[in-house]
Amino acid sequence: MRPLYITCLKSTLTLRLTIATQLMPSTTYLDTLEQDITKMVTIALEEDIGSGDITAELIPRTQTSSAQVITREDCVIAGKAWVDEVFTQLDRRLNTNTSIKWHVNDGDKAVANSVLFELSGNARSLLTGERSALNFLQLLSGTATKCQQYADRVKHTHVRLLDTRKTIPGLRNAQKYAVTCGGCYNHRIGLYDAFLIKENHIAACGSISKAIQTAKQNHPNKPVEIEVESLTELQEALRARADIVMLDNFGIDELKQGVVLTREFNKQENCEVKLEASGNINHVTLVANAETGVDYISIGAFTKHCVAVDLSMRITTDLHLAHTEE
């Protein structure tokens, strides 16, 4: 990992998430982001290379070249650090020295057929790392692109669009980072940093009020969010002082009524209970939900239905030998 870049990445992510901290506690994955990138890249290279890249071995060991990576479609970029880490690890493994020149930053919009970055170095290293590097970049940029498309549709409102825990196993931190590159925000990272009390939790605890009370007693510094399915349940959650109430599968009229009820309650009780809309909200229904006045909308599709961006690497110079052929 290039130390300067990961420092900049973490600094940028901290800035992007400043507003979101009113929803959840400090983003706990920031401190482990570098380790997570290293770990996931190691796994990716191990599963791809195995005992060795037998096709790359057709190329003389000292042969060098240059290449460009382009996007075939408009997109929002996310994943530079993962690409850098792929070639950092390969350089150590193959005793090579790959140079990468980026033309974009995470969060930038790139147009179709533009060059994202250029590489130069050992030909074997470039070709061996190509697929792993592009896998990370195309997936994370796909996540960021979908998020930006949704965020642009509701920029005339005050709503914050949130991700969920519906992420690809092993890539949660990566996808949550990509969500912020696309102008959206992180919900809780896992089961440990905030409460999200759902129907089955309520049933097991006995009531909405009891679940909220117990949560606040057990972890007084953790945000408490609870899911409700009716305006009556919303009123109970408000009286119990939930921090956030998730309105699950509410119709537009019900959402508007819920917003009015909550604003009146907040004014009377001098508190700031937030509302989150959730449940089968897509690009068609998004704007109508946002215009009801809810504070947040959570969308699982950001990370579970993402479509990878079409990227391509092309050799740009003739392959040549640095010294001698093998």
Give the domain CATH number at 227.
3.20.20.70
Task: From the candidates 166, 216, 222, 241, give the one annotated as an active-site residue.
Answer: 166
The SS3 assignment for 116 reads strand
Distances in whole angstroms, Cα of residue 322 to Cα of each of 61, 96, 119: 9, 12, 16
pLDDT in tens, 95-150: 999 999 999 999 999 999 999 999 999 999 999 999 999 999 999 999 999 999 99
Q: Are residues 114 and 159 in the same domain?
A: no
State the residue range of the domain holding 41.
Answer: 3-151+308-321
End-to-end CA distance of the chain: 30
Q: Is the pLDDT of residue 253 over 80?
A: yes
| Domain CATH code at residue 18 | 3.90.1170.20
93 catalytic per annotation: no
Within a domain: 42: yes
Q: Is the pLDDT of residue 2 over 70?
A: no
Within a domain: 326: no
Q: Are residues 8 and 100 in the same domain?
A: yes
How many domains does the chain divide into? 2
Task: From the candidates 73, 193, 248, 291, give the one annotated as an active-site residue.
Answer: 248
Q: Are residues 7 and 91 in the same domain?
A: yes
Q: Is the pLDDT of residue 174 over 50?
A: yes
Comparing C-alpha atoms, which of 30, 25, 103, 33 is closest to residue 69?
A: 103
Categorise residue 49: left if φ over 0, alpha if ψ from -120 to 50, beta otherwise: alpha
Task: From the candidates 53, 130, 227, 233, give the one annotated as an active-site residue.
Answer: 227
Contact 223, 25 (CB under 8 A): yes
- Residue of higher predicted confidence among 188 and 9: 188
Q: Are residues 312 and 292 in the same domain?
A: no
248 catalytic per annotation: yes
166 catalytic per annotation: yes
Q: Is the pLDDT of residue 181 over 60?
A: yes
Query: Which pLDDT score, from 0 to 100, does residue 31 have?
Result: 72
State the pLDDT confidence band at 34, using cuts at 50, 70 and 90: confident
Q: Is the pLDDT of residue 301 over 70?
A: yes
Task: From the candidates 10, 131, 153, 165, give the one annotated as an active-site residue.
Answer: 131
State the pLDDT confidence band at 324, using cuts at 50, 70 and 90: very low
